[in-house]
Amino acid sequence: MQQTLKKTNRPKSERVVQGFIIGFLLLFTLTCLLPFLNILGSSFASSSEIATRTFIIIPREFSLNAYRYILSTPTIFTSIGVSLL
């Protein structure tokens, strides 16, 4: 019971419009996703790399110092507690 997909002959104008829509959605997706990837990559980069590079998705120097600092201070636990209440 396998159904075969039939290729429909769509007009060229409809394919062009569909191409623009797909291109716009891809651009919009990248615009929304790249800042989050930059924050994530920067959180694993060393402070010297952050100072020299403006956009980091994959850090050259991997470091957990930011997470060590955050977890060494009681501020993060207080913030989480306030958020949960």
Q: How many Cβ atoms from other residues are within 10 Å of residue 64's Cβ? A: 11
**pLDDT > 90? residue 4:** no
Q: State the virtual CA torsion across 39, 41, 46, 50 in degrees, nearest 10.
A: -60
**Residue 12 within a domain:** no
Q: 82: pLDDT confidence band, cut at 50, 70 and 90?
A: very high
- Under DSSP, the state recorded for 45 is B
pLDDT by residue (tens digit) across 28-44? 999 999 999 999 999 99
How many residues does the structure list for the chain? Answer: 85
Q: How many domains does the chain have?
A: 1
Q: 2: pLDDT confidence band, cut at 50, 70 and 90?
A: low
Side chain identity at residue 47, one-letter code = S
**pLDDT > 70? residue 6:** no
Q: What is the mean pLDDT of the chain?
A: 90
User: Which residues span the domain enclosing 57?
Assistant: 17-84
Mean pLDDT, rounded, for 55-76: 92
**Residue 10 within a domain:** no
- Under DSSP, the state recorded for 58 is S
How far apart CA 53 and CA 19 sit, in angstroms, is: 34
Pull the structure tokens for residue 20.
């623009």
How far apart CA 57 and CA 35 sit, in angstroms, is: 9
**Residue 7 within a domain:** no
**Residue 6 within a domain:** no
Q: 72: pLDDT confidence band, cut at 50, 70 and 90?
A: very high
